[in-house]
Amino acid sequence: MKRKLIAAIGVAGIMIGAAACGGSDKKDGAAGGDAKELTVWLTVDAQKNWPELVKAADDAIVAKHPGLKITHEYYGWPDKNAKLDAVLATDKAPDVVEMGNSEMPSYTGKGAFAEVDASKFDNSASWLDALKASVTSNGKTYGVPYYAGGRTATWRKDIATDAGITATPKTYAELTADLDKVQAAKGDKFSAWYQPTRDWYAAMSFVYDAGGSIAKQDGDKFKANLSSPESIKGLTEYKNVVDKYMKGDKTKDEADRPIVYGQGNSFLVFSPAWEGANAALPENDKVGKLADKIESFVMPAPSGKPMPVFLGGSDLAIPVKSKAQGVAAEWINAFTGTQGQKGLVAKGNLPNNKTDLAPLKADPKTAVPATAAESSWFVPMAAGWGQVEKAKILQDMLQAIGTGKKTVEAAAKDADAAIDKVINNK
What is the mean pLDDT of the segment spanning 177-183?
Answer: 98
Residue 195 CA to residue 186 CA, distance in Å, equals 17
- DSSP one-letter code for 5: S
pLDDT, position 77 = 86
pLDDT tens, position by position, 123-164: 999 999 889 999 999 899 999 999 998 899 999 999 999 999
Checking if the pLDDT of 82 tops 50, the result is yes
The answer on pLDDT for 205 being more than 90 is yes
Whether residue 19 is predicted with pLDDT greater than 90 in this model: the reply is: no
d(CA 293, CA 51): 34
CB 324 within 8 A of CB 317: no
Single-letter residue type at 374: E
Confirm if 278 and 258 have CB atoms less than 8 A apart. yes
Does the pLDDT at position 29 exceed 60?
no
Q: Is 310 left (phi over 0), alpha (psi -120 to 50) or beta?
A: beta
What three-state secondary structure class fits 421? Answer: helix
- For 348-376, the pLDDT digits (tens) are 889 999 999 999 999 988 899 999 988 88
Does residue 166 surpass a pLDDT of 90?
Answer: yes
Q: Range(s) for CATH 3.40.190.10 in the chain?
A: 28-150+311-377, 151-309+383-422
Residues 382/196, Cβ–Cβ less than 8 Å: no
* Contact by Cβ (8 Å): 308, 376: yes
CB 195 within 8 A of CB 241: yes
Q: How far apart are CA 377 and CA 380, in angstroms?
A: 10
Task: Please state, in angstroms and as integers, the Cα–Cα distance from residue 371 to each residue in 311, 315, 359, following that order.
Answer: 12, 21, 10
The predicted pLDDT at position 41 comes to 97
Other CB atoms within a 10 A radius of the CB of residue 76 amount to 12
CB 395 within 8 A of CB 253: yes
Spelled out in words, what is the top-level CATH class assigned to the domain 151-309+383-422?
A: alpha beta
Is it the case that residue 7 has pLDDT exceeding 80? Answer: no
| Long-range interactions of 120-123: CB distance < 8 A, separation 24+ | 120/28, 120/29, 120/329, 120/333, 121/329, 121/332, 121/333, 121/336, 121/337, 122/333, 122/336, 122/337, 122/338, 122/341, 123/337, 123/338, 123/341, 123/352, 123/353, 123/355, 123/356
Q: Higher confidence at residue 25 or residue 409?
A: 409
Whether the per-residue pLDDT at 74 is higher than 50: the answer is yes
Least confident of 23-32, 36-45, 194-203, 355-364: 23-32
Q: Give CA angle at 191 (186, 195), nearest 5°.
A: 165
* Low-confidence winner among 151-155, 311-315, 402-406 (lowest mean pLDDT): 311-315
pLDDT of residue 119 exceeding 90, the answer is: yes
Query: 152: closest CA among 396, 423, 365, 397?
Result: 365
Establish how many alpha carbons lie within 13 A of residue 391's alpha carbon, considering only the half-sphere containing its beta carbon: 17
Residue 409 pLDDT greater than 70, yes or no: yes
Q: CATH assignment of 28-150+311-377, given 3.40.50.170, 3.40.50.300, 3.40.190.10, 3.30.420.10?
A: 3.40.190.10
pLDDT at 43: 94
For residue 96, the one-letter residue type is V
Is 80 exceeded by the pLDDT of residue 48?
yes
